[in-house]
Each structure stands twice: as structure tokens, then as C-alpha cells.
Structure 1
């Protein structure tokens, strides 16, 4: 059985290949039960979340991800997301690979946002605002830059020092990146706004979104979490990674559904429908689009298969 550490997993999940793998998996006969979602008490710290995410391609591959989110892990100098992915044979159940779950989660999440952006953001989008300075931020910048000609990256975080550190890391990777202190000012100028935070109160106001903007909401994975307000939902064409997941777990969808700012019929499509052409993406340069992801087990399976086959064949 292959055991891939974080560095080996990252090298095996090159952006274009990963985005293509996700696109293919959204068209494949993948079976994906609703993920298990458990709240865990952590004495003296914020509650953690345990997620169990199975998926399989009949007769080919089967996999399950065990991942945890510990919001206060920064107090221990650790990433908030921890976990692993076990890939097995879909014919025999033989264990094939154990893939680093943190890297897999971060990269497939960013790749899903980039896949959505390829349908929903403007082709000429050049200015991206990254809201949040955690592990996902650099991945999202890299992934979005794979599908759009980004020339300017603005980075905002609640902690200015962390925003500057993230901007420094982005510049080291060749991006024209600057930390910003005014979230509103940056949001009003950005073509793509990507949010990867653990916010429970909206950070982005719909009033700030300029014509043609694309809003990518990644961070909120519980009904209590929120990154954009109702005005953003009302102004935008709303898309999700999966309806089943987003309508049950994403506060940015669940709360507007509950208060009437959004109806199920106004969710324009999910990723599989965009890939198949059953849902239309952006129709005009001035449309405002919004993509909300909570993560889907088929994305992890696609990434794990890519990592396994890439390493096995080298």
C-alpha cells in the first residue's frame, strides 16, 4: 500500500490535472452517500467537527476520508484541518493508498472553486481578492490563476500580520500580491472574491459587488457559518457544488432559504450540471455570480485516484 505524506500528495496533485480529474468525476457514475458530520467537544477550546466522507466508482475504486476541523489548532501551531484518505480497490477491497487528508482536502477544494470559476467568472478576470489567510488561501490563489489571467491579488485577514505573511508567500510564488486593510474597498474592485474563513457573521456585503463580479464562498461548512450577506444572495446567480450538501450544511445557503432571501428554485445549478451543460453558467459580462461549496466526497475520490495513479506510474 502506498503511503503519501503531505509533500508527496501535493506533488501528485498538479492543478490542471486535478481540475480535469474533478471535471471528469462529476460526469462519472460515482456513488456518494451523504457525509457523516459530527460535533466533538474539546475541553477548553472551540468544538471540533469530524467528517466521514465515502464514495466509490463501482468496480474500480472505493475510498473514505476521515477529516477533522479543530478551529483552535492555531493555539498549538497546527493547521485547523487534519485527516487522511484511504483508497481501496473497488473490485476486491484491497487497500491501495493512504493519502494525506489535509493536502488532499485543500487542493481538491481549491480545484473545485477553480472548476466553478471556469464557468462562472469573467474570462478576463484579472483582480482576485482572497479573504482569509489560512491553509486554503494560497491554494485558492494558485487554482484560480490556473483558469483565469490573474494579474493582481489582494489579501485580507482579520489579523493584518497574517495577511502580510500570506501576501509575502504569494509573492514568493510569483504573484503580484498585496495585503489590504479595507475589505470593502478591495471587494468593490475585485473581479473574483474568494472567501475561506470560519466566519459565523457575514464578511462580504452584496452592496460591494461590482457588475461582473464572481463570489467564491468556501469556508462555511455548517448551517451556523456565514461569509456573505443576504444582499449578495439576492443580487447574484447562485450555484453550489452539490444541492444535497449545500442546502443541508452551508449557512450561506441554509439561512437565506430559511428567511426567504433564496428559494430552492433560484439555485441555478450544481457543478455536475455545469459540467454536463444542463445548467448555464455566466451569460453576460455584467452578471454577478456566486458559488458556494461545502465539499463532496467524489472530489476527494478523484484527487486520491489521481495521486495514486500519478505516483504508481512514475
Structure 2
């Protein structure tokens, strides 16, 4: 069995490769039971173990194990860590144990880019990234692989972090740290939110026709990055209905406020990609994609990585 480090994931998992693989997997489907949540009582507080299995009908089998330790912040250690175990489908033999954080980071951004490829206007060239964590650089790279991005605007609560990202990508794009979010939102063709916010950051009244809004951050019901007006003004799409129903804070809170209904969601990503349901209705429409992540994405990314690795001696 091969152990695959974060550096190897970053080196071998290309954006084009993983986005194409995700498209194939969303359209063709895999078996993916609901994820398992296990509360763990540790001496210094509560922790959670998440298990996310998925398998192809006659092919690869995979499971992601994630440990969530909120108390790690006090020790300067990441709160979330994990690994992905990929097995072959014929005899169930393990193939690879893959760094879970890097795989997740890249598949998350790739899923958003896949949605943007289907939903954003083809000439979208200005990207606004809201948030400065580990996902921010990933969404810049992923979206730039599917749309002709020329300008990247970056907003974050920590201006130093925003400046560091702007500097990192200054040789590839016209980058700019922004303070005035309403102006930046109005200028952007694609807005990608990667925060852990529990309060709306983006307001619907700021959106301009033709914009594509990509919401990644709020993966728990009590989190949200947008107000209900954003959903009200947009054609709303989700990665999966089941994930959205359970965990998409932006949608669940807007429903709670009586400002949105679940059946107003236009489609889940697989329906748009397969042509079963339409995407953007026209150039002036505002589209919104809300993702919370799905185990099929991890399986797709793990398969793409495994098949891209230099060939191994068993």
C-alpha cells in the first residue's frame, strides 16, 4: 500500500484532471451512504470523528476519516485532520493511504470550479475571494482553470493574510486587497466565499446581473455567508440535495426566516451536468452554487490522484 503525502497530492492532482473526474463521477454516480458522525469525549473537551464512505458499483472503494478537535486552536494545531483510504474494487485490497486535508482542500475547490464551468458566464474575468484561509488560494487556482480570470480581489478580516495571498498570485493575475465589500461584490463576475462565518457577509442588494456566487464556507446549519436576499435574487444550485437539506446554513436559515423554500432550488449539480435540468437562464441571471461537500467528491479525487501517480511497484 502506498502512503501519499500532502506534497504529492499537490504535485500530482491537476485541476483539469480532478475537475473532469468530478464531472464524470457526478454524472455517473457512486454509492455513498450518509456520513457517520461520532462524538468523542476527550479529557480536554468534545471532539468528533467523521467517516465518509463511497464506492463505485464495480470499481474503487474509499473512505475518508476526519477528526475534528476544536480545542487544537489553543495549541496551534489544525482543528481538522484526516486521511483517505482507497481500495481496489475486485478484491477490496487497500491501494493508498492519502493525506486527507490536501485531498479535501483540492476537491472542494475543484467542485466549485466544476459548478462555475457549468453556471458562470463564459467571459467571467474578475474573481472576488472572501476569506483568507487554506481554501482561498485553491479557489483562485481552480476557478482560473475554467474561466479567463484576469483580476482577483481579496477580502478578509485579517488584512495581512489577504495581502499575503494577493502577493502570492500577483505574477499571474492583477490582484488587489479590498476593504469596501459592496463595491467589490458589484465589480466581481464570480464571488467565492470560503469563511467560517455565522453572520451574513454578502448582501443580496450588492449583487449585479450576471454574477455567479460560490458558497463554500457554511457547512453547518448555524453558519452562513449570505443573507436571504442573495438567495431570493439568484437561481440557486447545490452540490447535492441531501447535503443541502442537512447542512447548508445559508439555505436553512433563509428558509427559517420564511424568505426561501427548499423546492426553489433549481437543481443539484449532477442534474445540470447531465442536462436533466437547465443551468443559468441567461447572461444577466444571477446564479448561486452552495456546496457542503460530498463523499463522491473525495472518491473521485482519490481515484484521479491514484491513476496520476507515477506507476508503483506493489
Shorter chain as denominator, the TM-score bin is over 0.9
- 2:250 equivalent to 1:238: no
Distance 1:66 1:42 in 2: 18
Preserved contact between residue 225 and residue 252 of structure 1 (Cα < 8 Å) = yes
Shift of residue 256 of structure 1?
1.8
Q: Are residues 114 and 41 of structure 1, via their aligned partners in 2, closer, same or farther at CA, if it must alter by over 3 Å?
A: farther
Q: Tell me the residue number matched to 1:117.
A: 116
Q: Tell me the residue number matched to 1:249.
A: 247
Structure 2 counterparts to residues 124-135 of structure 1, below 5 A: 124-135=123-134
Preserved contact between residue 54 and residue 65 of structure 1 (Cα < 8 Å) = yes
Q: Are residues 68 and 227 of structure 1, via their aligned partners in 2, closer, same or farther at CA, if it must alter by over 3 Å?
A: farther
DSSP 3-state at the match of 1:67: strand
Distance 2:209 2:42 in 1: 44
Distance 1:300 1:262 in 2: 30
Q: Tell me the residue number matched to 1:20.
A: 20
- 2:163 equivalent to 1:164: yes
Q: Are residues 234 and 15 of structure 1, via their aligned partners in 2, closer, same or farther at CA, if it must alter by over 3 Å?
A: same
Give unpaired runs (5+ residues) of structure 2: none
- TM-score normalised over the length of structure 1: 0.94
Distance 1:245 1:12 in 2: 28
Distance 1:79 1:171 in 2: 27
Distance 2:20 2:210 in 1: 25
1:246-302 superposed Cα distances (whole Å, 9 cap, x missing partner): 111110111122332221221001111011001111121110110000001000000
DSSP 3-state at the match of 1:147: coil
- TM-score normalised over the length of structure 2: 0.94
Q: Tell me the residue number matched to 1:155.
A: 154
Distance 1:221 1:243 in 2: 13
- 2:34 equivalent to 1:34: yes
Shift of residue 72 of structure 1?
6.5
Structure 2 counterparts to residues 57-76 of structure 1, below 5 A: 57-70=56-69, 73=72, 76=75
1:128-162 superposed Cα distances (whole Å, 9 cap, x missing partner): 10000000000000000111111100111111111
Preserved contact between residue 156 and residue 163 of structure 1 (Cα < 8 Å) = yes
DSSP 3-state at the match of 2:91: coil
DSSP 3-state at the match of 2:169: helix
Q: CA RMSD in A?
A: 1.9
Preserved contact between residue 2 and residue 308 of structure 1 (Cα < 8 Å) = no
Shift of residue 180 of structure 1?
1.2
1:197 to 195, 198, 215: 195
DSSP 3-state at the match of 1:171: coil
Preserved contact between residue 86 and residue 97 of structure 1 (Cα < 8 Å) = yes
Give unpaired runs (5+ residues) of structure 1: none
Q: Are residues 178 and 38 of structure 1, via their aligned partners in 2, closer, same or farther at CA, if it must alter by over 3 Å?
A: farther
Structure 2 counterparts to residues 167-246 of structure 1, below 5 A: 167-171=166-170, 174-246=172-244
1:50-76 superposed Cα distances (whole Å, 9 cap, x missing partner): 422110002311100012445565554
Shift of residue 39 of structure 1?
5.5
DSSP 3-state at the match of 1:254: helix
- 2:104 equivalent to 1:95: no
| Bigger mean CA deviation after superposition, 28-37 or 219-228 | 28-37
Q: Tell me the residue number matched to 2:283.
A: 285
Distance 2:69 2:147 in 1: 32
Distance 2:155 2:68 in 1: 22
Preserved contact between residue 213 and residue 289 of structure 2 (Cα < 8 Å) = yes
- 2:3 equivalent to 1:6: no
Preserved contact between residue 44 and residue 71 of structure 2 (Cα < 8 Å) = no
Q: Tell me the residue number matched to 1:145.
A: 144
